[in-house]
């Protein structure tokens, strides 16, 4: 028989949910729960409100895969951005990292992962068909492949270069100032900016 | 693609013109938890050699195995991770303070037990940060080993010799570990695709392109390592035999004739043609996972496999020492050497020569044996420990500090 915490089922449920967050184990989830309860007015109630609003209003952009309260998202509808250049990233976190570095003024396409037969993820499980259609229909001139410098990111980039070959666009890859195995999300802004400036044609 | 050393190594090689004393890569602290026979063990050390003596089965090799997990791979026993866990425990951990290429850094690795939701998994931490790829361990320090199981290395099948060469290569080019891991992963991706009958030529082509890029870089690094090693082995080292080395494989040989780009394309073509065959066998008919490391005894002019057991062992020692010497010169760092039961099988002349060489290198070598008397050449210099029943005790007689 497993003993639950002595705080009753409500607290136990809170702890169990917190423990599902990335980077939080059971022990840190208990600490987080205690912190929330102790700081009810300053943290817990505003957090609950923010979670509720986010859950109700944030959606996936039907064009690029970004997260925003609007669909299409603010980037896709920003007319000051260059609609002829598309940057392909694996995840929304990578899009955010590139936006933080403020290097890129085109639009994005979020794949939602990388090709991996080992994990059962094929081209149709990623936003690849949508990317090819978007490039054909939206008058895109350059596609920058900014998949991570991991082996699966590299294979995905090769695949995309092949899939886009017939679409008549320039396909470039971020320069390898990016340490191999490096994930965009973890790179500093300077490295990202240099990688962008040095992008190479495939 | 070039054979270039990683940047740090190239810098070190350039700086070596003004020749600062090479740095000994070493452990200054080693902590084990639930690792094989050890519930808990913590030792602090100097960078000098370490001698572990004790009866057979006392747990000496377990300590060397723990250290070997601080480099990429599954350790010197090639063990399944769960088999390393002490009986009754849920997981294991090894942590250490390593005097590495970039100074002292805390490194840890272990098996975190599954909890019903997540499966058990290996973790690697460098400098307090969790690292996804254990191949990064090669960028901290180089660990090379010789064990009794390797006595049969020259008469075994190619994979163990290839692993041995790859490990030696990490010392010259630590990006090699990452490339080998990447190559193996992309090869598994391709096999899975072929096995499950997914007929997507573009996907397979993308995998083969990645595989070929890594294959050529791996082959080039191996050729470079063999070239350097042979330079250090040609003359022999007095007590240990001179050797001729070669890496035998289609990709390595093709680099003799053609540029890297041409070889890459040729390998992609061969892999594409081999798809039907590979779908049946589950492997890959071409690539650097099929290469072999060939060693010849120079004076006897015969393949290592044809030499006596003693000469085979001497050849292995000669190769490991040559790698350490060349690393010291080219990289400015001396690898950690794990020499399990090596000393007992050497005659007095070679024993003395080995100890003299370790002393000249300033290496942190870890030596094990049952007979304390055989390590007399290291008295007053090495750190001596007695291992018995899951504990390790400092032996005051012979300890320097
Ligand atoms: Zn959008």
| pLDDT number for residue B336 | 97
Please give the model's pTM, rounded to 2 decimal places: 0.85
Q: Across-strand partners of B369?
A: B53
| pLDDT number for residue B233 | 81
Q: How confident is residue A19, by pLDDT bands cut at 50, 70 and 90?
A: confident
| pLDDT number for residue A180 | 44
Query: For chain B, which residues score pLDDT lower than 70?
Result: 1-20, 115-118, 234-237, 396-401
Structure tokens at B368: 């094990």
| pLDDT number for residue A139 | 86
**Nearest chain B Cα distance for residue A123, angstroms:** 8
Structure tokens at B144: 């090379």
Q: What is the pLDDT of residues B145-167, one digit of tens each?
A: 999 999 999 999 999 999 999 99
CB-defined contacts A:B, below 8 A: 58
Residue tagged 């470079």 (tokens): B224
| pLDDT number for residue B322 | 93
Residue of A nearest to B186 (CA): A151
3-class DSSP assignment, residue A188: coil
Q: Which residues on A lie below 8 Å from B186 (Cβ)? A: 151, 155
Q: Which residues on B lie below 8 Å from A181 (Cβ)? A: 132-133, 135-136, 178
Q: Using H for helix, E for strand and C for coil, what is the string for B142-209?
A: CEEEECHHHHHCCCCCHHHHHHHHHHHHHHHCCHHHHHHHHHHHHHHHHHHHHHCCCCCHHHHHHHHH
CB contacts under 8 A, A 6-45 vs B, are none
B364 C-alpha to center of ligand 1: Å? 56
Q: What is the pLDDT of residues A68-81, one digit of tens each?
A: 999 999 999 999 99
| B23-24 vs B333-334, strand pairing mode | parallel
Q: Which residue among B186, B198, B202 sits closest to A151, beta carbon to beta carbon?
A: B186
B117 C-alpha to center of ligand 1: Å? 34
Question: Is a pLDDT exceeding 90 seen at residue A185?
Answer: no
Peptide bond into A37 cis (omega under 30): no
Q: Which residue among B185, B193, B209 sits closest to A158, beta carbon to beta carbon?
A: B209
Q: What is the pLDDT of residues A107-144, one digit of tens each?
A: 999 999 999 999 999 999 999 999 999 999 888 999 99
The number of beta carbons lying within 10 Å of the beta carbon of residue B23 is 18
Q: How far is Cα A27 from Cα A123, in angstroms, rounded to an integer?
A: 39
Question: Is a pLDDT exceeding 60 seen at residue A5?
Answer: no
**Nearest chain A Cα distance for residue B52, angstroms:** 38
Please indicate whether, in this complex, the C-beta atoms of B209 and A118 are within 8 angstroms of each other. no
| pLDDT number for residue B391 | 83
Q: Which residue among A118, A154, A162 sits closest to B210, beta carbon to beta carbon?
A: A154
A197 C-alpha to center of ligand 1: Å? 23
DSSP string, B100-156: ETTEEEEEEEEEEPP-SSSPPEEEEEETTEE-S-GGGGGGT--EEEE-GGGGGTTTS
Please indicate whether, in this complex, the C-beta atoms of A159 and B214 are within 8 angstroms of each other. no
| A67-68 vs A85-89, strand pairing mode | unpaired
Q: To the nearest whole number, what is the mean pLDDT of chain A? A: 87
**Nearest chain A Cα distance for residue B30, angstroms:** 26
**Nearest chain B Cα distance for residue A26, angstroms:** 11
Please indicate whether, in this complex, the C-beta atoms of B136 and A181 are within 8 angstroms of each other. yes
Q: Answer left, alpha or beta for residue B70, where phi above 0 means left and psi between -120 and 50 means alpha.
A: alpha
Max CA pair span of chain B: 68
The three-point CA angle A104-A109-A113 to 5° equals 115
Residue tagged 């699966």 (tokens): A152
| pLDDT number for residue A102 | 85
A123 C-alpha to center of ligand 1: Å? 20
| pLDDT number for residue B343 | 92
Structure tokens at A129: 């068909």
Q: Which residues on B lie below 8 Å from A159 (Cβ)? A: 202-203, 206
A142 C-alpha to center of ligand 1: Å? 17
Q: Does A151 contact chain B (CB < 8 Å)?
A: yes
**Nearest chain B Cα distance for residue A152, angstroms:** 7
| pLDDT number for residue B8 | 46
End-to-end Cα, chain B, rounded Å: 49
Q: How far is Cα A151 from Cα B181, in angstroms, rounded to an integer?
A: 9
More confident residue, A99 or A1: A99
Question: Is a pLDDT exceeding 80 seen at residue A175?
Answer: no
Q: Across-strand partners of B30?
A: B43, B96
| pLDDT number for residue B390 | 77
The candidate with the shortest Cα–Cα distance to B79, out of B35, B138, B30, is: B35
Sheet with B302-303: strands ordered across: B243-248, B292-297, B302-303
| pLDDT number for residue A179 | 45
DSSP string, B337-371: EEETT-GGGS-HHHHHHHHHHHHHHT--EEEEES-
Q: How far is Cα A74 from Cα B340, in angstroms, rounded to an integer?
A: 63
| pLDDT number for residue A22 | 83
Residue tagged 């007695």 (tokens): B386
Q: Does B77 contact chain A (CB < 8 Å)?
A: no
Q: Does B227 contact chain A (CB < 8 Å)?
A: no
**Nearest chain A Cα distance for residue B286, angstroms:** 18
The number of beta carbons lying within 10 Å of the beta carbon of residue B111 is 24
| pLDDT number for residue B324 | 94
Whether the CB-CB separation of A72 and A51 falls below 8 Å is answered with no
Q: Does A118 contact chain B (CB < 8 Å)?
A: yes
| B92-100 vs B103-112, strand pairing mode | antiparallel
Provide the percentage of residues in chain B whose pLDDT is more than 90.
78
Please indicate whether, in this complex, the C-beta atoms of A180 and B203 are within 8 angstroms of each other. no
Structure tokens at B325: 């010497």
**Lowest mean per-residue pLDDT among A77-86, A179-188, B328-337:** A179-188
DSSP string, A94-148: HHHHHHHHT---SEEEE-SS--BTTTTB-GGGTTHHHHHHHHHHTT--EEEE---
Please indicate whether, in this complex, the C-beta atoms of B210 and A181 are within 8 angstroms of each other. no
Can you tell me the ipTM of this complex? 0.81
DSSP state, B25? Answer: P
DSSP count for chain B of H helices, then E strands? 11, 17
Q: Does B87 contact chain A (CB < 8 Å)?
A: no
Q: Does A202 contact chain B (CB < 8 Å)?
A: no
Q: Which residues of B309-330 are buried (b: 16+ CB within 10 A; e: fewer)?
A: eebbbbbbbbbbbbbbbbbbeb
């Amino acid at each position: 028989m497993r003993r639950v915490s002595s705080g009753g089922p409500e607290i136990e449920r809170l702890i169990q949910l917190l423990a599902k967050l990335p980077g939080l184990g059971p022990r840190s989830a208990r600490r987080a729960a205690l912190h929330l309860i102790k700081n009810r007015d300053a943290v817990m109630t505003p957090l609950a409100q923010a979670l509720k609003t986010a859950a109700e209003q944030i959606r996936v952009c039907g064009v690029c895969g970004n997260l925003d309260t609007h669909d299409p998202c603010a980037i896709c509808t920003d007319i000051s951005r260059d609609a002829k250049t598309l940057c392909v990233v694996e995840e929304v976190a990578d899009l955010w990292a590139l936006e933080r570095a403020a290097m890129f003024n085109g639009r994005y396409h979020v794949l939602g992962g990388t090709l991996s037969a080992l994990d059962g993820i094929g081209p149709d499980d990623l936003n690849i068909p949508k990317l090819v259609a978007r490039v054909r229909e939206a008058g895109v001139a350059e596609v920058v492949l900014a998949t991570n410098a991991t082996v699966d990111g590299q294979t995905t980039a090769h695949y995309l270069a092949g899939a886009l070959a017939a679409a008549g666009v320039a396909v470039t890859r971020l320069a390898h100032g990016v340490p191999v195995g490096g994930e965009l999300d973890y790179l500093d802004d300077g490295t990202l900016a240099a990688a962008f400036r040095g992008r190479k044609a495939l | 693609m070039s054979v270039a050393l990683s940047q740090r190594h190239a810098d070190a090689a350039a700086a070596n013109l003004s020749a600062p004393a090479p740095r000994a890569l070493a452990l200054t602290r080693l902590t084990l938890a639930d690792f094989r026979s050890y519930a808990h063990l913590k030792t602090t050390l100097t960078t000098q050699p370490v001698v572990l003596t004790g009866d057979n089965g006392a747990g000496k090799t377990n300590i060397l195995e723990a250290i070997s997990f601080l480099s990429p791979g599954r350790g010197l026993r090639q063990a399944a991770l769960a088999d390393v866990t002490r009986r009754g425990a849920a997981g294991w951990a090894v942590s250490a303070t390593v005097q590495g290429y970039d100074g002292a850094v805390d490194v840890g690795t272990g098996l975190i037990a599954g909890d019903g939701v997540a499966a058990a998994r290996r973790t690697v931490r460098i400098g307090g940060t969790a690292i996804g790829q254990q191949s990064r361990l090669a960028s901290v320090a180089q660990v090379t080993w010789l064990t009794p199981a390797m006595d049969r290395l020259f008469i075994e099948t190619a994979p163990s010799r290839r692993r041995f060469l790859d490990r030696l290569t990490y010392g010259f080019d630590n990006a090699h570990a990452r490339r080998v891991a990447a190559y193996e992963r992309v090869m598994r991706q391709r096999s899975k695709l072929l096995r499950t009958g997914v007929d997507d030529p573009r996907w397979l082509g993308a995998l083969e392109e990645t595989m070929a890029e890594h294959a050529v870089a791996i082959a080039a690094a191996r050729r470079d390592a063999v070239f350097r090693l042979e330079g250090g082995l040609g003359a022999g080292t007095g007590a240990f035999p001179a050797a001729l080395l070669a890496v035998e494989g289609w990709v390595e040989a093709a680099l003799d004739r053609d540029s890297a780009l041409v070889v890459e394309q040729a390998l992609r073509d061969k892999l594409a043609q081999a798809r039907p065959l590979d779908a049946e066998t589950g492997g890959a008919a071409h690539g650097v996972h099929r290469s072999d490391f060939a060693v010849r005894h120079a004076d006897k002019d015969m393949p290592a496999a044809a030499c006596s057991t003693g000469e085979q062992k001497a050849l292995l020692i000669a190769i490991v020492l040559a790698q350490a010497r060349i690393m010291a010169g080219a990289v400015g760092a001396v690898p950690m050497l794990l020499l399990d039961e090596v000393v007992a099988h050497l005659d007095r002349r070679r024993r003395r020569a080995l100890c003299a060489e370790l002393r000249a290198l300033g290496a942190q070598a870890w030596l094990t044996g049952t007979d304390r008397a055989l390590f007399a050449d290291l008295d007053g210099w090495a750190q001596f420990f007695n291992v018995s029943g899951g504990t390790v005790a400092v032996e005051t007689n012979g300890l320097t500090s």
